[in-house]
Homo-oligomer: A and B are copies of this chain.
Protein backbone atom coordinates (compact mmCIF):
# COMPACT_ATOMS: atom_id res chain seq x y z
CA UNK A 1 0.00 0.00 0.00
CA UNK A 2 1.31 3.41 -0.85
CA UNK A 3 0.00 6.82 0.05
CA UNK A 4 0.59 9.62 -2.42
CA UNK A 5 3.33 11.66 -0.82
CA UNK A 6 3.82 14.61 -3.17
CA UNK A 7 2.42 17.88 -1.93
CA UNK A 8 0.18 19.36 -4.56
CA UNK A 9 -1.00 22.83 -3.81
CA UNK A 10 -3.91 24.70 -5.31
CA UNK A 11 -6.03 23.83 -8.31
CA UNK A 12 -8.17 20.80 -8.93
CA UNK A 13 -5.83 18.44 -7.14
CA UNK A 14 -6.06 20.32 -3.83
CA UNK A 15 -9.84 20.61 -4.19
CA UNK A 16 -10.13 16.85 -4.77
CA UNK A 17 -8.01 16.11 -1.70
CA UNK A 18 -10.03 18.46 0.49
CA UNK A 19 -13.39 17.09 -0.72
CA UNK A 20 -12.33 13.46 -0.31
CA UNK A 21 -10.82 13.98 3.16
CA UNK A 22 -13.96 15.83 4.28
CA UNK A 23 -16.15 13.02 2.95
CA UNK A 24 -14.09 10.46 4.88
CA UNK A 25 -14.34 12.42 8.14
CA UNK A 26 -18.08 12.96 7.70
CA UNK A 27 -18.74 9.32 6.87
CA UNK A 28 -16.59 8.16 9.81
CA UNK A 29 -18.65 10.29 12.19
CA UNK A 30 -21.91 8.64 11.09
CA UNK A 31 -20.92 5.13 9.95
CA UNK A 32 -19.10 2.17 11.31
CA UNK A 33 -15.59 2.23 9.83
CA UNK A 34 -15.99 -1.27 8.39
CA UNK A 35 -19.00 -0.03 6.40
CA UNK A 36 -17.00 2.55 4.41
CA UNK A 37 -16.35 1.85 0.72
CA UNK A 38 -14.54 3.77 -2.00
CA UNK A 39 -17.73 4.25 -4.10
CA UNK A 40 -19.49 5.68 -1.02
CA UNK A 41 -16.67 8.18 -0.42
CA UNK A 42 -16.52 9.01 -4.15
CA UNK A 43 -20.23 9.77 -4.27
CA UNK A 44 -20.15 12.03 -1.22
CA UNK A 45 -17.10 13.96 -2.40
CA UNK A 46 -18.31 14.27 -6.00
CA UNK A 47 -15.37 12.51 -7.64
CA UNK A 48 -15.21 9.18 -9.46
CA UNK A 49 -13.99 6.03 -7.70
CA UNK A 50 -11.18 5.79 -10.27
CA UNK A 51 -9.90 9.21 -9.19
CA UNK A 52 -9.62 7.86 -5.66
CA UNK A 53 -7.94 4.61 -6.71
CA UNK A 54 -5.49 6.50 -8.95
CA UNK A 55 -4.54 8.93 -6.21
CA UNK A 56 -4.60 6.81 -3.05
CA UNK A 57 -4.22 3.25 -4.30
CA UNK A 58 -6.69 1.63 -1.93
CA UNK A 59 -9.10 2.30 0.92
CA UNK A 60 -6.70 1.66 3.85
CA UNK A 61 -4.18 4.11 2.35
CA UNK A 62 -6.88 6.75 1.87
CA UNK A 63 -8.07 6.28 5.47
CA UNK A 64 -4.49 6.60 6.76
CA UNK A 65 -3.96 9.77 4.71
CA UNK A 66 -7.21 11.30 5.93
CA UNK A 67 -6.25 10.35 9.50
CA UNK A 68 -2.97 12.28 9.22
CA UNK A 69 -4.91 15.27 7.93
CA UNK A 70 -6.80 15.34 11.24
CA UNK A 71 -3.57 15.46 13.22
CA UNK A 72 -2.23 18.43 11.26
CA UNK A 73 -4.20 21.53 12.34
CA UNK A 74 -3.73 24.79 10.44
CA UNK A 75 -2.72 26.87 13.44
CA UNK A 76 0.47 26.78 15.48
CA UNK A 77 0.17 25.34 19.01
CA UNK A 78 -1.27 27.83 21.51
CA UNK A 79 1.29 30.19 23.09
CA UNK A 80 0.56 30.20 26.82
CA UNK A 81 3.77 32.03 27.73
CA UNK A 82 5.53 29.04 29.35
CA UNK A 83 7.01 25.75 28.14
CA UNK A 84 5.20 23.44 30.58
CA UNK A 85 1.75 24.83 29.79
CA UNK A 86 2.45 25.00 26.03
CA UNK A 87 3.37 21.30 26.15
CA UNK A 88 0.33 20.39 28.24
CA UNK A 89 -2.06 22.22 25.90
CA UNK A 90 -0.55 20.52 22.88
CA UNK A 91 -0.47 17.08 24.54
CA UNK A 92 -4.11 17.40 25.58
CA UNK A 93 -5.19 18.41 22.05
CA UNK A 94 -3.20 15.49 20.59
CA UNK A 95 -4.83 13.11 23.06
CA UNK A 96 -8.26 14.47 22.05
CA UNK A 97 -7.54 13.59 18.41
CA UNK A 98 -5.96 10.17 19.00
CA UNK A 99 -7.43 8.86 22.27
CA UNK A 100 -11.05 8.39 21.15
CA UNK A 101 -12.26 5.17 19.51
CA UNK A 102 -12.08 6.97 16.15
CA UNK A 103 -8.61 8.30 16.97
CA UNK A 104 -7.40 4.81 17.84
CA UNK A 105 -8.80 3.51 14.54
CA UNK A 106 -6.95 6.32 12.71
CA UNK A 107 -3.63 5.46 14.38
CA UNK A 108 -4.23 1.80 13.60
CA UNK A 109 -4.91 2.66 9.93
CA UNK A 110 -1.62 4.56 9.81
CA UNK A 111 0.34 1.59 11.23
CA UNK A 112 -1.59 -1.02 9.23
CA UNK A 113 -0.96 0.83 5.95
CA UNK A 114 2.47 -0.79 6.16
CA UNK A 115 3.91 2.24 4.41
CA UNK A 116 6.95 3.79 6.11
CA UNK A 117 6.23 7.15 4.48
CA UNK A 118 2.80 7.31 6.13
CA UNK A 119 3.98 6.31 9.61
CA UNK A 120 6.90 8.74 9.39
CA UNK A 121 4.64 11.58 8.32
CA UNK A 122 2.57 10.82 11.42
CA UNK A 123 5.67 11.09 13.65
CA UNK A 124 6.77 14.20 11.75
CA UNK A 125 3.50 16.02 12.47
CA UNK A 126 4.03 15.67 16.23
CA UNK A 127 7.73 16.49 15.91
CA UNK A 128 7.07 19.72 13.93
CA UNK A 129 4.57 20.97 16.45
CA UNK A 130 6.87 20.16 19.37
CA UNK A 131 9.68 21.98 17.53
CA UNK A 132 7.54 25.15 17.37
CA UNK A 133 6.96 24.96 21.15
CA UNK A 134 10.63 24.28 21.93
CA UNK A 135 11.85 27.11 19.69
CA UNK A 136 9.39 29.51 21.27
CA UNK A 137 10.65 28.59 24.76
CA UNK A 138 14.26 29.02 23.67
CA UNK A 139 13.43 32.50 22.36
CA UNK A 140 12.07 33.28 25.82
CA UNK A 141 15.45 32.20 27.18
CA UNK A 142 14.06 29.03 28.80
CA UNK A 143 16.01 25.76 28.93
CA UNK A 144 14.26 22.96 27.02
CA UNK A 145 14.62 19.23 26.47
CA UNK A 146 15.21 18.18 22.84
CA UNK A 147 12.28 17.44 20.51
CA UNK A 148 13.34 13.76 20.43
CA UNK A 149 13.20 13.60 24.22
CA UNK A 150 9.68 15.05 24.15
CA UNK A 151 8.59 12.50 21.53
CA UNK A 152 10.04 9.68 23.68
CA UNK A 153 8.54 11.08 26.88
CA UNK A 154 5.06 12.25 25.78
CA UNK A 155 4.00 11.15 22.27
CA UNK A 156 5.43 7.61 22.52
CA UNK A 157 3.83 6.56 25.85
CA UNK A 158 0.52 8.21 24.85
CA UNK A 159 0.50 6.36 21.51
CA UNK A 160 1.62 3.05 23.08
CA UNK A 161 -1.17 3.17 25.64
CA UNK A 162 -3.75 3.98 22.96
CA UNK A 163 -2.62 1.23 20.59
CA UNK A 164 -1.68 -1.51 23.09
CA UNK A 165 -3.53 -0.86 26.35
CA UNK A 166 -7.25 -0.84 26.98
CA UNK A 167 -7.24 2.81 28.00
CA UNK A 168 -5.56 5.96 26.71
CA UNK A 169 -3.82 7.95 29.47
CA UNK A 170 -5.98 10.32 31.53
CA UNK A 171 -5.22 14.05 31.26
CA UNK A 172 -3.66 13.85 34.71
CA UNK A 173 -1.34 11.01 33.65
CA UNK A 174 -0.47 12.95 30.51
CA UNK A 175 0.52 16.01 32.53
CA UNK A 176 2.72 13.82 34.75
CA UNK A 177 4.49 12.65 31.56
CA UNK A 178 5.09 16.30 30.57
CA UNK A 179 6.35 17.22 34.04
CA UNK A 180 8.67 14.21 34.02
CA UNK A 181 10.29 15.33 30.76
CA UNK A 182 11.07 18.66 32.38
CA UNK A 183 12.13 17.29 35.77
CA UNK A 184 14.28 14.57 34.39
CA UNK A 185 16.17 16.83 32.03
CA UNK A 186 16.93 19.23 34.86
CA UNK A 187 18.21 16.29 36.92
CA UNK A 188 20.50 15.29 34.05
CA UNK A 189 21.80 18.77 33.39
CA UNK A 190 24.50 18.91 36.08
CA UNK A 191 26.06 15.82 34.47
CA UNK A 192 26.88 17.71 31.23
Contact = CB atoms under 8 A, between A and B. Distances in A.
B114 A111 contact: no
Interface string A138-178: 00000000000001110111011101111000000000010
A155 to B, nearest CB: 7
Contacts of A108: 111-112, 114
Contact of A165 (B123, B153, B186): B123
Copy total for this chain: 2
A14 interface: no
Interface range for A: 20 to 34
A116 interface: yes
B164 A160 contact: no
A130 interface: no
A120 interface: yes
Contacts of A119: 163-165
A160 B151 contact: yes
22 contacts: A108-B112, A111-B112, A111-B163, A111-B164, A116-B166, A119-B164, A119-B165, A120-B165, A122-B164, A123-B164, A153-B157, A155-B160, A156-B156, A157-B157, A159-B164, A160-B160, A180-B184, A180-B188, A183-B188, A184-B184, A184-B187, A187-B187
